[in-house]
Amino acid sequence: MAYDKFNKLKSTVVPLPAENVDTDQIIPARFLKATEREGFGDNLFRDWRYDVEGNPKKDFVLNDPTYSGKILLAGKNFGSGSSREHAVWALYDYGFRCVVSSFFADIFKNNCLNIGVLPVTISPEFAEVLFNAVEENPSTEIEIDIDKQAITLLSTGQYETFDINSYKKENMKNGFDDIDYLLNIKDEIITFAENK
């Protein structure tokens, strides 16, 4: 399933400094019955966003109109727990195109890259700089440049570079998942097979 192309993203930030956020907190298991990728954003962080009656919890960041944006700035060890892709589907469906953290669970990071949410790993020190900047000014913008593999705090120019597999980088830039990539090179595959 194709997703939005990712080249350069400039956005305000939603800060979620909690550490060790697992996939069951991102999307509780009771919402995993659907097989389509749409609609999961409604239940992103469901138990943190809503009380048992379904009323929004005013103290949760996604319910605070002060913060918005396509970048989620997360605490250390984001996406731990089970390997469910639904967690990333929920982030994508909600509108996040990038998650920034000082550490990601490996399976979660790979799921992000397969679904079109760029996981950007930064140092704990730079994470603290970003959290402080957003706390001081919720209008703070961050720029993610996938070509330069750089994340920049635009108000100060401070930046760090990040790693990304070259294959996944090209897929992100083209909005491809693995199937889209293969379909895109179908003619090359056919030519190669015919010449064997």
**Span 103-153, pLDDT tens digits:** 999 999 999 999 999 999 999 999 999 999 999 999 999 999 999 999 999
In a domain, 126, yes or no: yes
List the CATH number of the domain containing 59. 3.20.19.10
Kindly tell me if the per-residue pLDDT of 187 is higher than 90.
no
In a domain, 3, yes or no: no
In a domain, 2, yes or no: no
Domain of residue 142, residue span = 8-195
17 and 133 in contact (C-beta within 8 Å)? Answer: no
pTM over 0.85: yes
Look at the chain and report how many structural domains it folds into.
Answer: 1
In a domain, 70, yes or no: yes
| CA-based nearest residue to 156, from 132, 176, 180, 179 | 132
In a domain, 1, yes or no: no
In a domain, 41, yes or no: yes
Helices (H) and strands (E) in the chain, counts: 8, 7
Sheet holding 118-121, edge to edge: 118-121, 98-101, 71-74, 8-16, 141-145, 150-153, 159-161
